Amino acid sequence: MNDYKCTVCGYTYRPERGDKLHSIDPNTDFKDLPDDWKCPTCNQPKMAFEEIK
């Protein structure tokens, strides 16, 4: 599972941490996030994120 970075604000989604703000459990892969999930920092949609390898 790779990290994903918001291209607008720089927030990094780390699967091992999940997203407590949106009740996303740790170890949830980015591709498994709900389609309506948004960046917890700037509220951008998933399409604003790029994979960090």
Both tokens assigned to 17: 């941490």
Count of alpha carbons within 13 angstroms of residue 6, beta-carbon side: 16
17 annotated binding-site participant:
no
To the question of whether residue 9 is assigned a binding role by annotation, the answer is: yes
2 is in an annotated binding site: no
User: What CA–CA distances, in Å, run from 32 to 4, 29?
Assistant: 13, 5
Q: Answer yes or no: is 6 a known binding residue.
A: yes
Binding site, by residue number, is 6, 9, 39, 42
Binding site for Fe cation, by residue number, is 6, 9, 39, 42
